[in-house]
Structure 1
Amino acid sequence: MSAPTGLDSAIEYHIVNSLGWPALRPLQAAAVEPVRGGSDCVLVAPTAGGKTEAALFPLLSDMVEDRWTGTTILYVTPLRALLNNLHPRVLTYCSWLGRTVGLWHGDVGPAERRRMLAERPDILLTTPESLEAMLVSRRVDHERFLGSVRAVVIDELHAFAGSDRGWHLLAVLERIERIAGRKIQRVGLSATVGNPESVGAWMQGSTTGRRPVEVVREDSATTVDPDVVLDYVGSMENAATVISRMHRGEKRLLFAESRRSAEELAFLLRERGVQTYVSHSSLSADERRQSERAFAEAKDTVIVATSTLELGIDIGDLDRVIQIDAPRTVSAFLQRLGRTGRRPGTSRNALFLSTSREGLLDAAAVMLLWKRGFVEDVVAPPHPRHLAAQQFLALALQEGAFGASDWHQWWGDLPLMEDGAEVLDFLRAEEFLVEDSGLLMIGPRAEKEFGQRHFMDLLSTFIADLELRVVAGTREIGFVSPLALPAPQDRGAKPLVLAGRGWSVQHVDWERFTVWVEEIGVKGDVKWPSSAVAQSFELCQAKRKVLLGTDPDVEFSKRIPAALEKLRSEREADVSEDGLVLRRRKVGGTRFWTWAGLKANATLLAGLGLQASGVENESVLLPEWVTIKDIRSCNADAVPRIDPDAVAGLKFSAALPVDLAARTVGERLADSAGVRVVKQSVVASANDREN
């Protein structure tokens, strides 16, 4: 290297002579000083941007030069597959220095775990759930195994920060800090996050004794503009035909937005003689690994995946990403785009194949936001009271008993425990916890609710989003938000609209997150059903702009101009340059085209005193009595009213009072900011047009 890096000399030597790198990447060079200085950091760079090395090389340098011993670095990811993928790489880096790395997750057997407990690895690759299992296990000497931890690397930080698993991780880290007797340095890695400073502050957990977080970004000016093409093919069959004829000899990764679509497309491609593999969450882990391994070793081939391959799992050199219709967010698109352009001399690329005009609208909206530099802010789910309950019970398992008056010492001012006193009162009143001489310990109700298989249910994977799988017979149709379901009393009369068809809801199994349906002939105002999965306010607003004539600045196929013209002609009554359209119908109330998303629409209904059910992303059906004045004066801070059974979908809801659990779910399905914009933008259509 032409200049010193600030890293340990042995690491510098191997970077040049073992990896063959002439220099560090810009992010890696910029990260050395803040990471080695002990700062909490967020490192942001595109997928395959060298973030793992940017975090580990400085930490390994500190480990060697300061002679750290024991397990001093935790490396946490949301996926076991990602840990498995990282393990050989991290093992190589540790071998340069005579250091060791261990892999600990649910698929690692007891013999290997015993070996690691006896011979503590310097770096431990693991998941939050495995850390929790270690803390509550009587076989793990917490102080010996975790008392040496000095730093934690949180990979795919955005995936944690936007879900309950992130809250759980922060709570577990606070408990490990209490065991270690020190603040643990935190280094978060992310390819796509619109608000890294806010996410970094969230990542720090309790604030006592912490310095401001440092954000290190890779300079995007040095990257080449990706090659993005938007095409309209009109059906899944046509998509398969196009894919089978284009890019022959290349390795292609296809993204579909549901398991049903992935399986359908894979079948159609195989019919056309294309070597095709599949990866989605309904397949076994072993089946997915076999598909990913075979794909990595092949050349002229395709793998069709849902979001399972969105994160940084290495599937080998990739020539092209193809997106069927559109991802749900710009962030997801950036993750997928980043799978390409990793080889020298190649560039990032993506081809969008829209199988319907609604899919075209979604794709164009995502592209419009992306080209304007928009990336969604990552916001932690509000009021995780159910996880506060889980943490109290887990601490009782970990310690055997804890003080009823000094529990704050374990989590400090971590926002997770903001409602901790109220939650703890309920746990004691219902005998989830029982008190003896000022100490709280596991009670009979906790044994009943969570005690099976040694409290494994208390430690199991957390639910990221309240989203239900829709099944007709043995066929998966797609996914819906609870807000999209008709109210229980209306399910016989109002259909659920999904995949362009109408479905009568037969049963909702909240325990299994499944909606059982039967197909029916659809009548009424469902000509333009919006997606039953929640879309953001920003995405829906971008869809409105596309319908009003704004084109995204990406390459169009020859089919796109005519398809966009047809789409805009069919939807012209739903949008207006003057504001949002409120349109009276001959019968059945008023259709209000809010273009605000499911959550804002549900909040709007709640603010009008109405039940939030059967909600769509683009519009909402209002009773005839609702006027523009009512909309402008509605309560934007109202909490959507949900199906009472929906609280069963909130993990550990049994450990909360029913009303508090219901309020928690409702608050997570609210969008007050979106409603405030809607209130100021509503206008009647020019001629008060009726359907």
Structure 2
Amino acid sequence: MEHSEPVSSYEEALRRLDLVARRQKGQVIYVYREESREEFRDEVPLSRLGLPDPLERALEAYGIRGLYRFQADALERYRGGEDLVIVAGTGTGKTEAFTIPLLEDLIGRREAYTKPYAILVYPTKALARDQYIRLRRLAEGHLGFRVAVLDGDTPRDERSRIYSSPPHILVTNPDMIHYGLIHSQQIRRLLSNAKVLVLDEMHVYKGIFGTHVKWVVYRLQRLAGDLRFIGAGATIGNPEELGSKLFGRRPSIVWGPRRRKGEAVHALVSIGSGSRWTLSAAVIAALTKMGLKTLAFVDSQQMAELVARIAGRSYGVRVGIHRAGLPADYRRRVEDEFREGTLKAVVATPTMELGIDLGDLDAVLMVNLPHSFSSYLQRAGRAGRRDNPGLIVTLLGDNPIEAYFTRRPREFFAQSPDPSYIEPSNREVARVHLVALAMQEGLLDKSTLPPELAAVAEEAESLGLVRDVRGKLYPDWGKARQYIEEQGGLRSVGPQVTILEDGKKKIGYREMPAALYDLYPGAIYYHMGKLYLSVKLNLERMVAEVRRLGANVNFYTKPLYTVNVVEILPLESRDLGPLHLVYADVKLVIMVTGYIVREEYTGRKLYVNDYKEPLKWSYYTKAMVTRYPNPGITSPTALISGYHALEHAIIAAAKPVVGASEHGPRRNKLSFRAHSYL
């Protein structure tokens, strides 16, 4: 085990980083230095803003003497009655940009509204509670406005207090609103009083999750009436379009600085012929032994566990794990230890991409190139906050996109934040919210529904979830409740599989279809730093049974699987050159046919195990469908190989375009599959 040798400069850190990479057959190939100061120099003094005296005094007591230009701009536009989307980098003060206008409005209307006046929505419970502490210091500590958190962890007595004596500002999350509107008359009554809805971390609301949130906002608006909207996010390439879709009307855009004050050093590291996982563990160990508090991002839950395991076994470094599917108290303990500095390194999936306060974070490692440049900026923004320099290290392998930027690194840093898209017409999502709205309101007049929800009414009726009586939709309460429960949370892409140790003790969960790729019989499953063998996966009961293994296992497993398109429902089409492109709802069938066993450190194949009967799962998603012409290749082997290469090129190119990872045992937000028609 090596000793810690703190570094005095980032030049020295980069030199050591290159030595570590070369030992693992890689090297540092490019360094980019980023500095952001000019945008923060021109402050508007509080005395020139016309703020109420109590608010001005409170801000001064809080340590704020003036507002940056974009914060003052947000204040003026809010005073003018506009809906806002505030786009500013992590740590630049975007929270104050919407909090100050809300507090000014509260002071002016102290007796003229029902509570809560504002609902602040954060995408996760952890982030909501983190921001709640900041809000309380200003709103409650200095101005006497009560702030409260309502989520699944709120104790019963605190909930009763919130219902009987609502706070001025309510902090919550989309899932709480979604389920509360369905199941709780008290929550419906509480939310119906709101006048302003704030969606913070708005850049997260894209894809399937964003589409869910769009319909939650619509349902809340039907309940509360004419809400004011504010969105705030760090990396949004199309804020006006995204805001219009989420809010149902066009917002005004306030642009702030892209990144926080200070300097960041970005290093791109080629993996070369080495192992990504072994190199990432070596880099984490080296950074922490340089005295740098380090957060590493991976795109797979199991790879988070594997990297932490290698770092501990090979380098003697204690590394925390932060991912979905772990108990909430375990994740909170990791957050607390990391913030306090008793834990120096954490490997996380995107659960730590958001702005949870982690204290002074020195370095960020990205084990994979993120699926979008916006995600890269968000993760990179975690390092060097509070005016400290930050070191951001990214590993590049041989997949087409990473190989491209290995050759053209300057182009990577010249990118702008990519646009965020949601798809209101997604039938799976629309059906959930049609049923939820029917339960929320008791009956629905089909003529009042937006076309996307009306389009799935017949489908919902055929499933027995609603009844159509002369244009009025009534929920079948029993089936509707069961259906909503089976769908899981708003982030879910499928039902949850409960993981039982020895068939009895619940140790976690995994969502479908990801569970199919992680918990197939024979799989090595990593959980909280421990190793388990999956012995049974029951897809009817949605239960996986696992057995604890010893610590000396030196291999891991990967599933062998196929994905087949069994149904195509065209939505729209167009011609592009010789290709006819069809955008469609598609039904996929996944079949896990066995698994491959690989050596833990090198990734070398040890053996393959094939099942007698495959595991199957089907679901609907969106797809772009086309038929490629035969290019005139006469050799069947060459033709199949060419189409296979095209498949991988499409997968790699599609990731940064649509903001999703490939279909398979990494992330499963969207599915990609190229089919050859010979």
TM-score range, shorter chain: 0.5 to 0.7
Rounded to whole Å, the distance in 2 between the matches of 1:455 and 1:618 is 35
Structure 2 unmatched ranges of 5 or more:
1-44, 495-511, 526-556, 567-587, 625-630, 655-662
**Judging changes above 3 Å, is the alpha-carbon distance between structure 1 residues 429 and 292 closer, same or farther for their aligned structure 2 residues?**
closer
Residue 589 of structure 1 aligns to a residue whose secondary structure is helix
Q: Which residue of 2 aligns with 1:286?
A: 329
CA 1:422–1:314: 2 relative to 1, 3 Å: same
2-side partners of 1:481 and 1:64: how far apart? 60
CA contact (8 A) 1:277 1:302 kept: yes
**Cross-structure match for 1:432:** 465
- In structure 2, the residue matched to 1:361 is 403
Question: Contact between 2:399 and 2:652, CA under 8 Å: does it hold in 1?
Answer: no
Q: How far is the alpha carbon of 1:590 from its aligned partner? A: 4.4
Give 1:397's aligned amino acid.
Answer: M
Q: What are the within-5 Å matches in structure 2 for residues 521-600 of structure 1?
A: 587=637, 589-592=639-642
Aligned length, in residue pairs = 528
Aligned to 1:8: 52
Instruction: Give secondary structure in 2 for the equivalent of 1:231.
Output: strand
CA gap of 1:280–1:367, structure 2 versus 1, over 3 A, is farther
Q: Is the 8 A contact 1:102 1:121 kept in 2?
A: yes
CA distance 1:369–1:483, shift in 2 (3 Å): farther
SS of structure 1 residue aligned to 2:393: strand
Q: Residue 375 and residue 582 in structure 1: after superposition, are their counterparts in 2 closer, same or farther (change >3 A)?
A: farther
Question: Percent sequence identity over matched residues?
Answer: 26
Q: Say if 1:100 and 1:4 are closer, same or farther in 2 by CA, change over 3 A.
A: same
2:173 pairs with 1:130: no
Native 8 Å contact 1:396 1:442 kept in 2: yes
Contact 2:88–2:255, Cα closer than 8 Å, also in 1: yes
Question: Match of 1:249, SS?
Answer: coil
**Cα gap change, 1:252/1:177 in structure 2, threshold over 3 Å: closer, same or farther?**
same
Q: Is 1:510 aligned to residue 617 of structure 2? A: yes
Contact 1:467 1:479 (8 Å CA) reproduced: no
d(CA) in 1 for partners of 2:404 and 2:597?
Answer: 20
SS in 2 for 1:187: strand
Query: Shift in Å at residue 365 of structure 1?
Result: 7.8
| Equivalent of 2:454 in 421, 425, 431 | 421
CA distance, structure 2, for counterparts of residue 179 and residue 669 of structure 1: 38
| Partner of residue 516, structure 1 | none
Q: 1:318: Cα distance to partner? A: 0.5
CA distance in structure 1 between the partners assigned to 2:560 and 2:261 by the alignment: 37
Deviation at 1:339, TM superposition (A): 0.3
Q: Which residue of 2 aligns with 1:79?
A: 124
* C-alpha displacement of 1:361: 2.3
The answer to which structure has the higher strand fraction is 2
Instruction: Work out the CA distance in 2 between the residues paired with 1:200 and 1:381.
Output: 13
| 8 Å Cα contact 1:40/1:204 also seen in 2 | no
Shift of 1:213: 1.6
- 1:451 is aligned to 481
Secondary structure of the residue aligned to 2:48 is coil
Deviates more, 1:268-277 or 1:457-466: 457-466
Distance in 1 between the 2:468 and 2:159 partners?
A: 34
SS of the residue corresponding to residue 492 of structure 2 reads coil
- Any idea what the Cα deviations from partners look like across 1:457-496, whole Å, max 9, x if unmatched? 4673343599635236232557999869999799879999
Alignment correspondent of 2:489: 460
The answer to whether structure 1 residue 475 and structure 2 residue 527 are counterparts is no
1:378 maps to 2:420: yes
Corresponding residue to 2:98 among 34, 55, 70: 55
TM-score normalised over the length of structure 2: 0.68
- Counterpart residue number, 2:154: 108
**What letter matches 1:587 in structure 2?**
T
Structure 1 residues without counterparts, runs of 5 or longer: 409-416, 514-533, 537-580, 602-615, 620-641, 644-648, 651-664, 676-691
Residues 200, 213 of structure 1: 8 Å contact kept: yes
Q: Is the 8 A contact 1:325 1:354 kept in 2?
A: yes
Measured against aligned partners, the alpha-carbon deviations of 1:137-158 in whole angstroms (never above 9, x if no partner) come to 354173x422321111101212
1:165 to 198, 204, 209: 209
Offset, 1:75: 0.8
Structure 1 CA distance for aligned equivalents of residues 407 and 102 of structure 2 = 41
Look up the match of 2:501. none
Match of 1:29 in 2: 72
3-state DSSP of counterpart to 1:228: strand
Change (3 A) 1:299 1:242: same
* Deviation larger for 172-181 or 69-78: 172-181
1:243 aligns with 2:284: yes
Task: Determine whether 1:174 maps to 2:218.
Answer: yes
8 A Cα contact 2:560 2:594, kept in partner? no
SS in 2 for 1:174: helix
How far 1:82 moved relative to its partner? Answer: 0.8
Task: Give the alignment of 1:317-396 within 5 angstroms.
Answer: 317-344=360-387, 346-354=388-396, 361=403, 364=406, 369-381=411-423, 383-396=425-438
Write the mapping of 1:597-608 to structure 2, written as runs, cut at 5 A: 601=650
Amino acid at match of 1:407: T
Q: RMSD across aligned C-alpha pairs, in angstroms?
A: 4.3
Deviation (angstroms), 1:31: 1.3
CA distance in 2, matches of 1:102, 1:480: 48
Instruction: Give the TM-score normalised by structure 1.
Output: 0.66
Residue 540 of structure 1 is matched in structure 2 by none
Deviation (angstroms), 1:286: 1.2
- CA distance, structure 1, for counterparts of residue 67 and residue 632 of structure 2: 57
Counterpart position of 2:196:
151
Listed one character per residue, the Cα deviations across residues 515-543 of structure 1 (whole Å, up to 9, x for unaligned) are xxxxxxxxxxxxxxxxxxx999xxxxxxx
Q: Distance in 1 between matches of 2:335 and 2:353?
A: 13
Out of 293, 297, 314, the position equivalent to 2:357 is 314
Amino acid at match of 1:91: R
